[in-house]
Amino acid sequence: MSDPYGDRGNKDLSIGNSKGMGSEMPQSGGTSFAAPGGPFLIGDGMTAGYGKGPDILHDCTIAVDKGEIAVIVGPNGAGKSTGMKAVFGMLDMRKGHVRLDGEDITDLSPQDRVSKGMGFVPQTSNIFTSMTVEENLEMGAFIRTDDFSDTMAQVYDLFPILKEKRLQAAGELSGGQRQQVAVGRALMTQPKVLMLDEPTAGVSPIVMDELFDRIIEVARTGIPILMVEQNARQALEIADKGYVLVQGANAYTGTGKELLADPEVRKSFLGG
């Protein structure tokens, strides 16, 4: 039997507006508890998949410590984004734990993790296209009840182009500028850790270099960054820690430099 709540391919937008419709996300309700020790953020031995589907991650471990940039690289379909989403609680975890700042948050929903201090920038649909840049940032700060004008000023300092375009609809910006809006939106909560899912996807090499520079600047403000990247070589150059995933499992782990120097990694993923 097909999905009883599906629309069997209906494309008539006059009766329903499926654009921007949410995906099924775990409901909030779980609790967190203290689990001291270990790195600042760690997805430890994660075995996970979507809904009732098969396991995609197999005993995969991803971690980032204070003041670090950790990068997840790997071939297509290796489960890089999936690993990131698992850390953020968007998957069904079957085995393993996620710990943030000495707290076990495995059972928390994504929205609860945001209020715990995780900032997440999805790969696609990561901005409110119909709203202005400034409104995007305001929505990023939605959970904050205090005055966030100085955070907004910091974001504008970090991304000067956003200040220039702050009254323009975010959907009208270029790809690189959109990514800056997306990162800026995530920074508005003053997260304790920032997770970026392929921030340079679909932008030109020049814009990519600029985005990497900006990401390093964000890291210098003291926020640990966990990032998935297609451009493995460049990403590993700025990484303090690198994870090479293959078929949902850790294949190689080390500092960025170690991985770049590793002949095996070079041969299989960096093109010699």
Partner 1 sequence: MDFLNAIIALANYVLIPGIAYGSQLALGALGVTLVYSILRFSNFAHGDTMAMGAMATVLMTWLFQSWGISLGPLPTALLALPFGILFAVGLVLFTDRTVYRFYRVKKAQPVILVIVSLGVTFIYNGVTRFIIGADDQSFFDGERFIISAREFKKATGLAEGLSFKTTQGITIVTAIVVVALLFWFLNKTRAGKSMRAYSDNEDLALLSGINPERVVMITWMIVATLATIAGVLYGLDKSFKPFTYFQLLLPIFASAIVGGLGNPLGAIAGGFVIAFSEVTITYAWKKVLVYLMPESLEPSGLVQLLSTDYKFAVSFVILLIVLLFKPTGLFKGQAV
- Binding pattern for the stretch 66-105 against partner 1, x by CB under 8 A and - elsewhere: ----------------------------------------
16 binds partner 1 (CB under 8 A): yes
Give SS3 for 179: helix
Which position among 128, 148, 159, 252 is part of the footprint of partner 1 (CB under 8 A)? 128
> What are the C-alpha distances in Å from 259 to residues 71, 83, 101, 248, 265?
11, 19, 27, 18, 6
Nearest distance from C-beta of residue 250 to partner 1, angstroms: 27
- Does 130 engage in binding with partner 1 (CB under 8 A)? yes
Q: Provide the strand spans (E) within 33-190.
A: 33-34, 41-49, 57-64, 69-73, 92-100, 103-104, 118-121
β-pairing verdict for 41-49 and 249-254: unpaired
Which of 2, 12, 220, 222 is in the footprint of partner 1 by CB under 8 A?
12
Interaction of residue 151 with partner 1, rule CB under 8 A: no
Binding of residue 30 to partner 1 (CB under 8 A): no
**Nearest-approach distance from CB 170 to partner 1, in angstroms:** 9
Nearest approach, Cβ of residue 70 and partner 1 (Å): 20
If you search the block for the tokens 């974001």, which residue do you land on? 155
Residue 255 near residue 240, CB atoms below 8 Å: yes
Paired tokens of 156: 């504008």
212-241 positions binding partner 1, by CB under 8 A = none
CA dist 272 and 266 (Å) reads 5
Interface with partner 1 (CB under 8 A), residue from 19, 51, 160, 222: 19
Show the 3-state SS of 240-265: CEEEEEECCEEEEEECHHHHHHCHHH
Please select the residue that binds partner 1; options are 110, 117, 202, 254, rule is CB under 8 A. 110
Return the number of other C-beta atoms located less than 10 Å from residue 261's C-beta. Answer: 12
Closest approach, Cβ 67 to partner 1, in A, equals 25
The one among 1, 2, 14, 220 contacting partner 1 by CB under 8 A: 14
Under the binding rule (CB under 8 A), the answer on residue 120 touching partner 1 is yes
Q: How far is CA 262 from the centre of its chain?
A: 26
Is there binding between residue 13 and partner 1 (CB under 8 A)? yes
* Binding region for partner 1 (CB under 8 A): 5-7, 10, 12-25, 110-111, 114-115, 120, 122, 125-131, 135, 138-140, 142-143, 185, 189
